[in-house]
Structure 1
């Protein structure tokens, strides 16, 4: 996340990863319903289809990085002043929220002695804070060097999939949603994470279920997705860092209003006032 929070009591990125230790299995804690109702999911390629996944990465990057070139973000690193320390990489791994630590640990397990391995003790110490102790002054430069290593790029991909992409797509399919709905889940979990706090993905989904039923429960897919996006907008507006809801209003809602439940190209949308196109 590149948009700093002004609410230190509940910063967006801390909320996003409140339960990151258990994030790989967190969605499993919610009873899942097996899809039984016909929906766009029957006719759409899933978001895990390689072409659709590439679209998803570009859509998220347009909001997170103001660019469709998501692969250029492996080397990105800066402290954006949001209370989470360094933010880096393709999904905004943070030194203050645990997922950067998990990423560097995975990279080191695969490539012992890599340029970031020496920072593991410091990353453990600064977890949960905005401190740079033990990281400055060389950590940003070493991150950028590591980002040239295909093994580190793969580690970023794998952590993104384990913590965010795979759980979101799995839940979307379980709810009987097509590609757009699966993407709506993914974009929400990228920003809000999973957990029990009111603005988490789990809570957004629960709020939507109070208003509409997904196809797996016999509901109308468009009505349910409108309810989910309404709940998402509510969650975003709880924090100043997320108060610009254009990634919903002028992106996902546009696709939904067009009836594009399969997230088929061409796609035209705006985020934060910038226009984008995928042909």
Structure 2
């Protein structure tokens, strides 16, 4: 999540406090100025406060919400899958490159954030992915980390600070990169397949629950589920929380109107979150809101698609098979 933004933040550390604030909060001014009027409703809890209050107990044995009550979605149009992935790639990595080999601790209490979808060691998706990989390739370079990742998964779901600890995962990022850059390992393809099944399809099911079926709407829900997740680990920032605060789509409400409300809630959440990582990411909501403003033109995700805050244009001709930035 937000690897490009972290690179920007590293530069900002050298800047003056006033410059740092202006850049980090670029998308948090005017109607999104941080203050009680937009922030009080979120009532964010620190990791320590959440543990003291008591964690949610999952009912399905995983960190992911049960989706059985959501509408079924069995497939998504190939162009929607492609362009939605590329848009989120820009938001995650700064360009449309598929960041299969990326790995970094961005200090968001999620542990190591890795791969093109931002799999994290603290929220359960890295664990699930590596388990699948190890079932197919038992001698892979990441298998040796599973025991320590399993220990993390046994921690209370809301203890984000402890779940984000990477002190026992030395060498993890190098192993991840080696597997992702090994053209014979199949790890990059597995990332794509896993994301489609566990993030793309669930995001479309959440969209369908709100009557959202356009390619642009599905792309927005995909980006939200990639960044915010649908895990019990983070109940104050996940997609379920955003939908709850947005409220249901009204009977006569257009898809465009609902998506604007949904993204407005998300952008407010990003701006109000009490760190320097999430507010910086509000630029992705700002860009998506710009696409929604011209809904009729953008609803089918016809290329080119300009993402102004990131200075990138998605064309649909990008390389899907290799992390060209890291696997040289």
Query: What is the TM-score normalised by the length of structure 2?
Result: 0.67
- Evaluate the alpha carbon distance shift between residue 129 and residue 202 of structure 1 in structure 2; reply closer, same or farther with a 3 A threshold: closer
Per-residue deviation at 1:22?
3.9
Task: From 231, 236, 240, give the equivalent of 1:202.
Answer: 240
Q: 1:27 to 1:238 in 2, by over 3 A?
A: farther
Residue 139 (structure 2) aligns with? 113
> Following TM superposition, by how much is the alpha carbon of 1:65 offset from its aligned partner in structure 2, in angstroms?
0.6
Partner of 1:151: 186
Gaps of 5+ in 1: 12-17, 35-45
Q: What are the equivalent positions in structure 2 for 1:262-277 lying under 5 Å apart? A: 262-271=300-309, 274-277=310-313
* Structure 2 residue aligned with 1:27: 67
With over 3 angstroms needed to count, the CA separation of the structure-2 counterparts of 1:27 and 1:277, relative to structure 1, is same
Partner of 1:85: 111
Distance 1:225 1:81, change over 3 A: closer
In structure 2, what is the Cα distance between the partners aligned to 1:126 and 1:25? 19
What TM-score, normalized to structure 1?
0.78
**Aligned counterparts of 1:104 and 1:258: Cα–Cα separation in 2:** 40
CA distance in structure 2 between the aligned counterparts of 1:167 and 1:126, rounded to whole angstroms: 24
Tell me the secondary structure at the aligned position of residue 268 of structure 1. strand
- Where structure 2 has 5 or more consecutive residues not aligned to the other structure, the ranges are 10-43, 49-56, 154-161, 316-328
Matched, 1:132 2:166: yes
Q: Secondary structure at the match of 1:237?
A: helix
Cα distance in 1 for partners of 2:219, 2:75 equals: 7
Deviations 1:6-62 (A, max 9, x none): x99259xxxxxx9695466633345x5x9xxxxxxxxxxx99322221211111111
Matched, 1:180 2:208: no
Contact 1:198–1:235 (CA under 8 A) maintained in structure 2 = no
Which secondary structure state, in structure 2, belongs to the residue aligned with residue 27 of structure 1? Answer: coil
What's the offset of the Cα at 1:133?
A: 4.2
Aligned CA distance change for structure 1 residues 171 and 154 (closer, same or farther; 3 Å): same
Deviating beyond 6 angstroms after TM superposition, the runs of 4 or more aligned structure 1 residues are none
Question: Could you tell me whether the CA contact under 8 Å between 2:225 and 2:239 is conserved in 1?
Answer: yes
Picking from 279, 284, 298, the partner of 1:243 is 279
What is aligned with 1:54?
82
Is 1:68 aligned to residue 103 of structure 2?
A: no
Contact 1:24/1:162 (8 A) holds in 2? no
Other-structure match for 1:42: none
| 1:69 positional shift | 0.9
In structure 1, C-alpha distance between the alignment counterparts of 2:107 and 2:244, rounded to whole Å: 31
Secondary structure in 2 matching 1:97 = coil
Offset of residue 82 of structure 1: 2.6
